Amino acid sequence: MSDEKVSRMAEYTPLYKEKCFEVWYTAGRPNGYVKVIDLLPEDEYGRKPSKNIFASWRDELGWDLRADDLDARASLITDDELVNNRVLMLKEQAARAKELQIMGLNFLREHDFDSSSSAVSAVIKGAELERVSKGLGEQLTKLLKMSDEELVGNVQRLLERASLADSNVINMEEIPEEKEEEDIEEDA
> H-type helices in 10-62, by residue range?
14-26, 33-39, 51-60
Query: Domain coordinates of the chain in residue numbers?
Result: 3-61, 77-163
pLDDT at 13 over 70: yes
| CB-based burial, 61-95: b 16+ in 10 Å, e otherwise | eebeeebeeeeeeeeeeeeeeeeeeebeebeebbe
pLDDT (mean) for 146-160: 75
Q: In whole angstroms, what is the distance from residue 2 CA to residue 4 CA?
A: 5
pLDDT (mean) for 19-41: 87
- What percentage of the chain reaches a pLDDT higher than 70? 69
pTM over 0.85? The answer is no
Q: In whole angstroms, what is the distance from residue 153 CA to residue 138 CA?
A: 19
Sign of the CA dihedral with 151 first, then 157, 162, and 163 last: positive
Q: In whole angstroms, what is the distance from residue 25 CA to residue 44 CA?
A: 21
Least Cα distance to 94 among 61, 57, 134 occurs for: 134
Band of the pLDDT at 140, cuts 50, 70, 90? low
